[in-house]
Amino acid sequence: MPPRALDPAGVALVDKPAGPSSFAVVAQIRRLTGARTGHAGTLDPFATGLLLLLSGRATKLAPWLVRLDKRYRTEIDLTFRTSTGDPEGEALERHGFPGKGELGEGLERLRGEIELPIPAASAVKIGGERAYKLARSGVEVEMPVRRSTVHALDVIAYTGETVTLDVRVSSGTYIRSIADALGGHCVTLRRTEVGPFSVDGAVALEAFQPGLLLPEAEVLERLEAARTAGT
């Protein structure tokens, strides 16, 4: 296969819909541009929101974009866990939902520097195999723990059975692990920000055109402005 083109170069801000995998979105953008294409962090198929896709020469920006903080909005069902931490897994034990006080204590324990197991249905490699493939095959493995920083964990709505959270975390944090630590699972998950980039400036997948790529210079300017501002 010939090497992919280095042009058009830039970063696409795409509002991913629920359903397709992030890699399917990457493949679709690649077909439209004809250029090498990468990403700066995936989203699960059920999740929606901001994907940063790198085209052409801009793929070299990946190391700086991947490590940016992320912001999400998620609705968590507090009445039972699932095997994957999301709606696609098998339901595990059901239990009563926490009161406001108990929920508040649980949230407080999850703020700041934390260590949580990586979800079994993740792309992390265990013994050379993707964890989600092992999980689908019924193979039980002990998942490694990852240290993360939860900068903000704010309640937007609470019904008793569900809680909607606005979450800002360091790169590599699994929101499904936070949901599991609260005794529940993510019903919805939407990524709203990646560093200085917002889903408000993203384009729907079906509306993407190569002319909408952010130039490398503009991406670097935003990163520098965010660094200077301390965000």
- Domain range list for the chain: 10-67+195-229, 70-193
CATH class for the region spanning 10-67+195-229: alpha beta
| Catalytic residue set | 44
* Chain centre to alpha carbon of residue 166: 13
pLDDT of 229 above 80: yes
Q: Return the higher-pLDDT residue of 133 and 64.
A: 64
168 phi/psi in degrees, rounded to 5: -125, 125
Which pLDDT score is estimated for 2?
Answer: 46
Which pLDDT score is estimated for 214?
Answer: 97
The whole model's pTM is what? 0.90
Q: Is 31 exposed, middle or buried (0-12, 13-18, 19+ CB in 10 A)?
A: exposed
pLDDT of 217 above 50: yes
pLDDT of 231 above 70: no
8 A C-beta contact, residue 17 and residue 25 = no
3 state SS of 65 = helix
Q: How many CA atoms, within 13 angstroms, populate the side-chain half-sphere of residue 118? A: 18
Is domain 70-193 in CATH 3.40.50.2300, yes or no? no
Per-chain mean pLDDT for the chain: 90
pLDDT of 192 above 60: yes
pLDDT of 10 above 60: yes
Please tell me if the domain spanning 10-67+195-229 has the same topology as the one spanning 70-193: yes
